[in-house]
Amino acid sequence: MAGLQLQGIALTSSVLCCRTADYLEVWSNQLQSLINFGFCFKFFPPPTVFLCPGLLKGVYQSEHLFESDHQSGAWCKDPLQASDKIYYMPWTPYRTDTLTEYSSKDDFIAGRPTTTYKLPHRVDGTGFVVYDGALFFNKERTRNIVKFDLRTRIKSGEAIIANANYHDTSPYRWGGKSDIDLAVDENGLWVIYATEQNNGKIVISQLNPYTLRIEGTWDTAYDKRSASNAFMICGILYVVKSVYEDDDNEATGNKIDYIYNTDQSKDSMVDVPFPNSYQYIAAVDYNPRDNLLYVWNNYHVVKYSLDFGPLDSRAGKDFNTEPKSELGFLFFSQIGCEIEICSCVNDLHVFVN
């Protein structure tokens, strides 16, 4: 039977079922060798993984899970997995190198971890995310993003975010080495940071989660050190401005006051109240699967629900109709053999003529 061998995986005329990046990693790691071997390839637009819920109109604290023994940290779920697993990382300067996994919310609240992951590097800030079975985080004292595969417990990639300020050069207002913040939304994986070239203002880059290549970059007009936190929804950056414990001026308020639409390359000032019961927001992470915010606020692990309205001219066109991601179908062909590698919600199919 005809077939092709890639990294020890035999691709034959059978139909193989895979989980997202398992086989995408094969081609991303071997793309150049395939080209050298005489393969032709072409990208096609992918299907949308999650539909855009619209423009954010309201934020409400909906659930208080527990009070941690760490003032800062982050927690999240993997939006590309339907399981109830929760990933948890309290943050301590120069000592954070462990991710803890819980199988359910009940186990999370009760403090019953399923497993822990010892990371190959220490972590700067609370900007980690888990996406398609891998942890992405900012390597301590660098402008590098590290990808750590949770299935194999092996570091599977590292990329430099060119010109990004790091290690408390341009953190969020609370500090905490939060210069480089990762985010996920309906369009994929993002990194939020600042550069000297943009005068310390927020820069957004979309990151390919399988190759770690930057697929697009946008400069904004919002000073990163003035922001308390930020997150992405439908390719739109939402910047949070909030009061901290030691603020002398309560008039600064707690709100989302700025958005930037990467699809239109346009920004807008807004005024969306943002709950801040504990006055020390250290992490805000959006999950496109459940449309909730996962927040860490002054030891408190909380969840926020969201209200959405229709996208208007400030936010640009509806992302449901024209997915922006460049990850999609990849076709190889050589001597009558055609391999179809699909995007993250599909299987891998191999056809031999």
Domain membership of residue 233 (yes or no) is yes
More confident residue, 326 or 40: 40
Residue 248, pLDDT score: 56
Number of structural domains in the chain: 1
Domain membership of residue 318 (yes or no) is no
pLDDT tens, position by position, 27-52:
444 544 444 444 444 433 344 479 99
pLDDT tens, position by position, 233-245:
999 999 999 988 7
SS3 content of the chain, % helix, strand, coil (to 5): 10, 45, 45
| CB count in 10 Å sphere of residue 337 | 18
Beta carbons within 8 Å of 32's beta carbon, 6+ residues apart: none
Residue 225, pLDDT score: 96
For residue 154, the SS3 value is strand
The answer, yes or no, to whether residue 15 has pLDDT greater than 50, is: no
* Contact predicate 213/33, CB 8 Å: no
Domain membership of residue 88 (yes or no) is yes
The answer, yes or no, to whether residue 326 has pLDDT greater than 80, is: no
Residues 41 and 13: their CA atoms lie apart, in Å, by 19
Token duo for residue 308:
């959405």
Domain membership of residue 102 (yes or no) is yes
* Contact predicate 112/100, CB 8 Å: no
| Most distant CA atoms of the chain, gap in Å | 74
Range of the domain at 110: 62-307
Residues 182 and 185: their CA atoms lie apart, in Å, by 11
- Kindly state the average pLDDT of the residues 234-257: 84
Residue 252, pLDDT score: 64
322, HSE (Cβ side, Cα atoms, 13 Å):
5
Domain membership of residue 80 (yes or no) is yes
Residue 210, pLDDT score: 96
- Kindly state the average pLDDT of the residues 308-333: 47
Domain membership of residue 163 (yes or no) is yes
pLDDT > 70 fraction of the chain, expressed in percent and rounded: 73
Residues 82 and 288: their CA atoms lie apart, in Å, by 12
Domain membership of residue 42 (yes or no) is no
CATH number of the domain to which 298 belongs: 2.40.128.630
Q: How far apart, in Å, are the Cα atoms of 70 and each of 23, 216, 231, 310, 352?
A: 38, 35, 22, 38, 56
- Kindly state the average pLDDT of the residues 16-21: 37
Token duo for residue 316:
């640009």
Token duo for residue 71:
């003032």
Residue 180, pLDDT score: 98
Domain membership of residue 69 (yes or no) is yes
